[in-house]
Amino acid sequence: MRRTEAIREIMETISDQLVIATTGMISRELYVVRDRPENFYMCGSMGCALPIGLGLALASRLPVVVLDGDGAALMGLSSLALSRHLKLPNLVHYILDNSTYQSTGGQPTCSSSVDFANVGHHVKVLHVEPGGEKGTPRIPLEPLEMMNRFRNAVMARMAVQTFSSRI
């Protein structure tokens, strides 16, 4: 399966969940597959999607889905351990494992030696082909613009949650 197909399949299951995507082509393919204000594209460091997702899931209690790469998950293994410790019921952690750092040229990772599902919590590892899609555009949103859009979406969802819990 190609990575973009995996992202499409995941997004077909998404209704109102917040989706946090790791940096690189996973974010860019997610943007193409289904951009929405409830998506947060981590523009920068690897290994940050899960900690952002954990913080959001913990603080907001909203359903959160994290889309990670195997390289990024390896870089942030301590967050997988924390996730296992917290056992948040409202977070699902997808790892799109192509055994490479595809976004930067396909250098091999050591993911085949790591059992992510036994380190993290609610981990779903999807094995995908190592290549990317030609011509995938850069995300045409400034980071601040994307963050503000996401923050507004989170606040709106939290307001609905608070209202629903009172009736």
Ligand X SMILES: Cc1ncc(C[n+]2csc(CCOP(=O)(O)OP(=O)(O)O)c2C)c(N)n1
CA dist., res. 75 & res. 109, Å (int): 10
Q: How far is the CB of 22 from ligand X (least distance, A)?
A: 5
Q: Does 98 bind ligand X (CB under 6 A)?
A: yes
35 vs 129 by CB, closer to ligand X: 129
Identify the residue among 7, 19, 25, 91 touching ligand X (CB under 6 A): 25
Q: Does 4 bind ligand X (CB under 6 A)?
A: no
37 vs 130 by CB, closer to ligand X: 130
Alpha helices in 3-142 (DSSP H): 3-12, 25-34, 49-60, 70-75, 77-86
Q: What is the DSSP pairing of strand 91-97 with strand 123-127? A: parallel
CB neighbour list of residue 96: distance below 8 Å, 6 or more residues apart: 3, 6, 7, 26, 67, 68, 69, 70, 126, 128
Q: How far is the CB of 106 from ligand X (least distance, A)?
A: 8
Q: Which stretch binds ligand X (CB under 6 A): 52-60, 84-92, 96-104, 138-146?
A: 96-104
What backbone torsions phi and psi does residue 157 show, to the nearest 5 degrees?
-65, -35
Contacts with ligand X in 36-65 (CB under 6 A)?
A: 45-46
22 vs 154 by CB, closer to ligand X: 22
